[in-house]
Structure 1
Amino acid sequence: MTTWIALLRAVNLAGHAPIRMADLRALAAEIGLAEPRTLLQSGNLVFEGKGPAGALERTLEEALKQHLGLGTEVFVRSAADWAGLIARNPFPEEAESDPSHLVLLPLKQAPKAVAALQAGIVGREQVRTDGRHAYITYPDGIGRSKLTMAAIEKKLGTSGTGRNWNTVLKLAALARG
């Protein structure tokens, strides 16, 4: 079996789309995913299972909707893919000096208009893409930035979910066991 990392989009944010992590683990076990474990309260799930990733995403999305009444997107990557994303981080200095302001965005599809997104940045943020992923630095903070998820998704033509670099590394560690 493969070790997988699943990220639920926009859960437990200021009361929006609440889900208990114990319920997420129980649901994962119920649908046949082995050794489900969660990290933080933001919809991070690590489990053992058989792919492909797209099928696992659809299975989790449908189960969340049917069993917990939660309609949200799920982004699934193998632990090996996740390790590769960490190794290819185009912002190693920021990862070391300011990991809470470096964000990895798994995307549903490869982005369409990266140049348009980069051209539209009005602050000091930087964006780099790698296949179905984007790396974004927010040197002046995420909350004050005009580079919001809505703006990113509109320019890139696909949906995504973000995790700061601290969480990215913790998920890799959890996947390694």
Structure 2
Amino acid sequence: MSRYIALFDSLRIGAKRLTMAELRAAFEAEGCLNIETVVAGGNILFDHPERPDDGLEEMLSRMMRARFGMTSVVLVRSSPTLAAAIADNPFAAEGEEGSVHTLFLDGPVDPEAFALMQTGRQGAEQIAMGDRALHIDYVSGAAEAKQVGAFIERRLGLRGTARSLRSMKRMLAKMVEV
């Protein structure tokens, strides 16, 4: 068994938020064990026989559509992949943990699309490409940012969900303690 984290962009169906009991039952039906939330409800830790992250994403996305009628982003990362996202973030050393984020994406970033997105961009935030992710330092805070997730997703043609460096470190610590 390997330890994974499922990163959701939303766990709401209209005004209704899914409960942990509903999620646990759905994850267990897919062969997942040791299911728990971490940091916030949009982060679900689980054990599963080793499988590529994108295979688990497909399985969980299909499960969320079938059981709950949800089409929200479901991204899966193994503990080594999450650790690499933290280590590879070029803003981690000097940026504030609450302002430095990783926008996890459902596919690899096309370098040409990334360069085009950077052309004429506004805002103080800094952005770097990662492995199926973008690393972002919201220097002036995410609330003031011009390059927010929805804008980036439209420009790159990918869907994603962001987590702060602080949250990622807490998630990784929880993943490796089991």
Fold shared, TM-score > 0.5 on shorter chain: yes
The separation in 1 between residues aligned to 2:65 and 2:82, in whole angstroms, is 26
Runs of 4 or more, structure 1, over 4 Å off, are none
Alignment of 1:75 with 2:75, yes or no, is: yes
2:6–2:76 CA contact under 8 A, matched in 1: yes
In structure 1, what is the Cα distance between the partners aligned to 2:16 and 2:100?
24
How far apart, in 1, do the equivalents of 2:16 and 2:118 lie? 30
RMSD, aligned CA: 2.0
Structure-1 residue corresponding to 2:107: 109
Match for 1:66: what amino acid?
Answer: A
Amino acid across the alignment from 1:35: N
Q: Secondary structure at the match of 2:166?
A: helix
1:25, distance to aligned residue in structure 2 (A): 2.5
Instruction: Identify the range of structure 1 (131-140 vs 39-48) with the bigger mean alpha-carbon deviation.
Output: 39-48
1:85 aligned to 2:81? no
Q: How many residues align structurally?
A: 174
Letter aligned with residue 48 of structure 1: D
How far the C-alpha of 1:26 sits from its partner, in A, is 2.8
Structure 1 residue ranges without an equivalent (≥5): none
Deviation per residue, 1:67-125 (Å, 9 max, x gap):
22322121111111111111112112344xx2111111111111121112222431110
Which one has a larger percent strand, Structure 1 or Structure 2?
A: 2
Structure 2, unaligned stretches of length 5 or more? none
TM-score, scaled to structure 1: 0.88
Percent identity between the two aligned chains:
31
C-alpha separation between the residues in 1 aligned to 2:125 and 2:16? 28
> Where does residue 38 of structure 1 map in the other structure?
37
Residues 102 and 138, structure 1, Cα contact 8 Å, conserved in 2: yes
| Mapped partners of 1:16, 1:78: distance in 2 | 31
1:7-156 paired onto structure 2 within 5 Å: 7-11=7-11, 18-50=17-49, 51-95=51-95, 98-112=96-110, 113-156=113-156
Instruction: Flag the 1:170–1:148 CA change in 2: closer, same or farther, 3 A.
Output: same
Change beyond 3 A, Cα 1:16–1:86:
farther
Amino acid at match of 1:38: T
